[in-house]
Structure 1
Amino acid sequence: MNPTRIFAWYESAIGRDALAYLLACEQDIREGIPQEGIQLSKTQISTVENLAQLTAATLSNESKISEAHNLVRGWLIQFTADGISNAREIHNNSKGITQEAEAPREPTAAAVHEVALDTYCAFLLPSNHPGIPTQIINPFASISMSQHPRRQEFIDFAMQDAKLARVFTGPDEPFGRSMSYLSNVGFGGALQLDLLLETILQRAWLIESCRVSPEAFAIASVEQFRMVRSTLQKSECPSIATFHLTGALLPTGSKVEIAGGTLRETTESERRNSPFPPRGEISGSDETGQHVVVNYDGDITLEIPFKYRHKVLTGRDGDHRKWMEENSSFAEAQRTVTRIRFALLLATNRNHRVQIIPTAQSFDIPPSSMPYIAWLDVKPRGMMPTQLTDGEVSNWSSWYEKLNSAGVDHIELAMRRTLRALSERTDPTDVLIDSVIAWENIFGTPEGEPTFRITMCLSSLLKKDPAERAKLQSTLSDIYNLRSQIVHGNKDLKPAEVPFCHQALDVAIEAIRKLVEERPDILSLSDGSKRSKKLLLGN
């Protein structure tokens, strides 16, 4: 028997992590077992001998290598007469144990614990779906869970829980009992009782730190079961919304706590476990000559705690809009992202505007096996990759605190349109339109003639010298009239007028800066009419 050849064949068939599990020497294998002179215990030698016999059996009918690999994978997830998986039995034999850690006393949790121990190896097996991480689609794990001897036991125990029984009220046929729900992150779903166990274990497997051992995975699975059960019973739980942002790099090791969230570096684990393939990089050099490379996947992660809630649908429900308006967390998370992005814009003073753009967002939803993930199409305009300094990060945090004041809610539209003009619009005409909409959101009013009132407010806010104020007001009037002629179809933008579009954007950014930093008294007023009167009349 040549252990090196056996290791090589099984590493090809089931992957290094699964082979490490079978030999019960995870750390040694992951770091690379020496190919010659490896020291094995008696129990591990016995395992290698059994694996060699299994290899010979699968290849005896001259099957193709790929077929032999699948036969071995399939055999590992089958169950012995004692009701445990073949893989788990091999692992225990290699480890030389006859009794494992005690399972939880609660019957339902104990069933979860046992199924997790049996399916651990199945989750380690390589998927037949190239390019898709096994934590997203792993047919071997699905088969192992669906065929587990204690699966029905778990379902029976779950239905003995009076509160869970009230949740799963759907018809028994054709797919068994189920629940339908509407969540406060903007969409609904359904959960079948028959798939509750799979949901719980899949959620535990997404926690990378819990994959280090079968015991850690079993403990995490029981914790997920208790959390999901509590959520189903109460229809709410604490959760996390995650946004990945591209365009800038935090100083190494930085972590910024802000009101309502945390900013940190995106981890390699998050990149590795992303359900989407890498989308490339963008590079550039700043005014100091520093070369900076950022990932379109996002190098900064924003985590926002929120209260997850759902409403169980009974089929007799009417309009759900009122419930969504009262409970929505999605809109609040989006407001936080807007303020984070705008705060960085105001916090930095460089030759280029520093901006960050969301590339992906996810919301953890306990009734679901996977978080809700949206991959955003990133086509930034004029984004210059930037390595932030410690001072800029500190200033960023301060500006976010300012933008997190209640009065900023009144100019939410202005900030969104300004960011859109800055990062999304490639046509100067669109930059102009969005920027002037921001002006109108700040000082617009249905009363009287808007051009003079809005441009006078902006020039008064931005310039103290009367002559400079008059000059700026005249220019802003021309820009406002240009926008009006374009949107009403009276003319097209000429090349010579493109600078007006970018000036409109500059004015929108500086107006918001001034209001937040110097005139919170105006910002606190609820509409543009009141704000313009306060600025012009001083009362």
Structure 2
Amino acid sequence: MTDARLEAARQAFADPFVGYVLNTDPSGLDDSDLTQPQSAALGLLAQFAQSVLATPEGFERDYRRAMILGPLPQLGKTGVATTLREWCGGTFPSTDSADAVEALLLECVRNSYPALLLPEPDEKFRHFRYLNLSSVILQLDAGKQLVQAIRRDDGLGRLFPDSPAADGSPYEAGNSMLTWESGSGFSFQLALMPETMVRYTLLLAGINGEISLEACMRYAKDTLSVSRALARQERADLPLLVGLSNIELSEDIGSIDTPFGELRPMTPAARSYLGSGMSGREPGALLIGKASQRILSIDKWDPDQEATPEDREADWEKRRPAAEAAQKKVKSLIDRIRYSIMLASEDESILAPIDEVTTQITPLDQSTSSAIAHGGMAPFPPVAITHELAARIRLWARRVSENHPASLDIGMRRLISAATLRIDPMDGFIDAVMCWENLFGEAQETAFKVCASLATLLEPADHDKRKDMFAQLKRLYDIRSRLVHGSSEPDLRTAYAHRDLALKVALGARRAAYAMPGLLNARDATARYKLVLLGFPS
């Protein structure tokens, strides 16, 4: 059908949103014969659309577009989009629950769900969809009631030690300071908690690619359970999102399950939320892992009693060990999945995933924070993950999870650095040779022990090949030694050749180590080279 109202609504809100509101298949909007209620709903939708389209692209348009999620007094107490869908005969999952907080949270999520169907926000305001729901939710009766239900809740109420359980304005009291094990600390407001919990729910659904109201209602119940556990200062596993560039997962690959989390194609919601790192590269894969977290302290917030710099420093020193341990766990998880992907490389192309941006999301965070890795060029080109490579990644992730010893962590990090961080090929070459040393190096006669052990490990059955490899490795090792002691660098073409060969040897040796009984469990490099060269038991 040709309908100016429909065209305006589609331009302002996109087909999925319009189809949801009109309770019809979005793919068949052009051919739909509207019922009287649908026509009336479309008329109101078109009025909103004209207001949206009258503003320039960017923040103001995104803001006006989001207002359709809020209520209009003349239409009722629910959001406009939800009300119009009800007019059109649309149904919703039940929000009934004996738990008052759960029932109200489900109703707020039901009203906010259409946010996932709106067009992607302007890149400059990529968090807009998730951050600016508070102006909508607190207009809803359910949102106002949820604030009071949280205040009275035995679990969630612990988050606000200055807030009495009595009813009152959501802006009366209800402020606290949360100090987290990760080292972060921020103020927390009761009035914004409904928006925080709804945002977390929608984000989980969007990132997991489950864009349905039923999925959002399911995630809402999980959100409440985790929020209560955190409020009790219990440890909880929270989603860790890592945007990886330099590898690309297509939709037909699906997810790659690993002990470190799921590798998935980037969903529109994840791309919108995470953005890109300092490099400007768009991540081509998303790692969804878990990292445990807990709240160390919940304190009253008093803006008139700001801590002195000395007090803050003393407090940080007390929290530093826990914070550093938590950060180290996250870094280790990311390193191990990147290392596993590298080990899955095929000879013709090195998989070199770069962690562009990392964030851990929580239902009790009223801001968004991302740790951006680094900028600069990628030393190796991007690689599309095939089904065969996906199977290899699963295999190596399992092997690394089960068998990787802490004594080889230095070499693992040098290997990752050589392939993803070092723009200068000679820096990458030096890092790769350090990975050799981590396997077989010792204080004395290092060159012979390292090169002989590598040659024996990689060519155990062919004497001539082993002899040639030893000579080649010894030459590379000597070049590395001269470089670090001030020798002139080779031309660029030779430098790249040295780096690539050193990397392939390091990867091959690490793979071969998993096939040699006892090698990975040896206590140090000395025990490893004696096992390889002399057959001494570990």
Q: Same fold (TM over 0.5)?
A: yes
Structure 2: gaps spanning 5 or more residues:
165-170, 300-311
Which AA in structure 1 matches 2:381? M
Which residue of the other structure, out of 286, 296, 307, is the alignment partner of 1:311?
A: 296
Partner residue in 2 for 1:522: 519
Deviation, 1:130, is: 2.8
Equivalent positions of 1:9-88 (< 5 A) are 9-12=8-11, 16=15, 19-20=18-19, 24-28=21-25, 30-34=26-30, 39-47=33-41, 65-66=54-55, 77-80=70-73, 84-85=77-78, 87=80
Partner residue in 1 for 2:365: 368
Q: 2:117, 2:382 → 1: CA distance?
A: 40
Cα distance change, pair 254–343 in 1 and its aligned pair in 2 (3 A): farther
Which AA in structure 1 matches 2:199? Q
Cα distance change, pair 183–91 in 1 and its aligned pair in 2 (3 A): farther
CA contact (8 A) 1:251 1:387 kept: no
Which residue of the other structure, out of 165, 190, 211, is the alignment partner of 2:157?
A: 165
Deviation, 1:199, is: 0.5
Q: 2:163, 2:252 → 1: CA distance?
A: 54
Deviation, 1:196, is: 1.0
CA contact (8 A) 1:235 1:311 kept: no
Which AA in structure 1 matches 2:365? S
Which AA in structure 1 matches 2:35? S
The one-character-per-residue Cα deviations of 1:12-34 (angstroms, maximum 9, x if unpaired) are 5555555545xx42334x22423
Cα distance change, pair 26–301 in 1 and its aligned pair in 2 (3 A): same
Deviation, 1:223, is: 4.5
Which residue of the other structure, out of 164, 173, 176, is the alignment partner of 1:178?
A: 176
Partner residue in 1 for 2:304: none
Deviation, 1:443, is: 2.0
Deviation, 1:442, is: 1.5
Equivalent residue of 1:404, what SS?
helix
Partner residue in 1 for 2:438: 441
Deviation, 1:162, is: 3.4
Q: 1:466, 1:34 → 2: CA distance?
A: 73
Which AA in structure 1 matches 2:237? P
Deviation, 1:449, is: 4.5
CA contact (8 A) 1:108 1:158 kept: yes
Which residue of the other structure, out of 447, 454, 463, is the alignment partner of 2:450?
A: 454
Q: 1:385, 1:180 → 2: CA distance?
A: 42
Q: Does 1:192 align with 2:189?
A: yes
Q: 2:269, 2:415 → 1: CA distance?
A: 30
CA contact (8 A) 1:123 1:134 kept: no
CA contact (8 A) 1:365 1:371 kept: no
CA contact (8 A) 1:17 1:26 kept: no
Partner residue in 1 for 2:102: 109
Partner residue in 1 for 2:320: 321
Which AA in structure 2 matches 1:77? G
Partner residue in 2 for 1:287: none
Q: Does 1:144 align with 2:136?
A: yes
Equivalent positions of 1:215-226 (< 5 A) are 217=216, 220-226=219-225
Deviation, 1:136, is: 3.5
Which AA in structure 1 matches 2:160? F
Q: 1:302, 1:71 → 2: CA distance?
A: 33
Equivalent residue of 2:4, what SS?
helix
Which AA in structure 2 matches 1:510? G
Deviation, 1:231, is: 3.1
Deviation, 1:118, is: 4.5
Equivalent residue of 2:96, what SS?
coil
Cα distance change, pair 382–277 in 1 and its aligned pair in 2 (3 A): closer
TM-score of the two chains, using structure 1 as the length reference = 0.74
Partner residue in 2 for 1:397: 394
Equivalent residue of 2:123, what SS?
coil
Over the matched positions of the two proteins, sequence identity in percent amounts to 19
Partner residue in 1 for 2:252: 252
Equivalent residue of 2:232, what SS?
helix
The one-character-per-residue Cα deviations of 1:390-419 (angstroms, maximum 9, x if unpaired) are 4x5444433443333435432222133123
Cα distance change, pair 89–411 in 1 and its aligned pair in 2 (3 A): closer
Deviation, 1:229, is: 2.3
Please identify, of 152-161 and 172-181, the stretch whose mean Cα deviation from structure 2 is larger. 172-181
Q: 1:504, 1:149 → 2: CA distance?
A: 65
CA contact (8 A) 2:238 2:362 kept: yes
Question: Which structure has the greater CA radius of gyration?
Answer: 1
Deviation, 1:468, is: 6.3
Aligned length: 503
Q: 1:170, 1:458 → 2: CA distance?
A: 64
CA contact (8 A) 2:256 2:262 kept: yes
Deviation, 1:334, is: 1.8
Partner residue in 2 for 1:427: 424
Deviation, 1:91, is: 1.9
Which AA in structure 1 matches 2:150? A
CA contact (8 A) 1:202 1:369 kept: no
Q: 2:526, 2:423 → 1: CA distance?
A: 32
TM-score of the two chains, using structure 2 as the length reference = 0.74
The one-character-per-residue Cα deviations of 1:146-184 (angstroms, maximum 9, x if unpaired) are 344454432332222333333333799998412323244
Q: 2:149, 2:118 → 1: CA distance?
A: 30
RMSD: 4.6
Cα distance change, pair 466–368 in 1 and its aligned pair in 2 (3 A): same
Equivalent residue of 1:526, what SS?
coil
Which AA in structure 2 matches 1:104? S
Q: 1:73, 1:373 → 2: CA distance?
A: 24
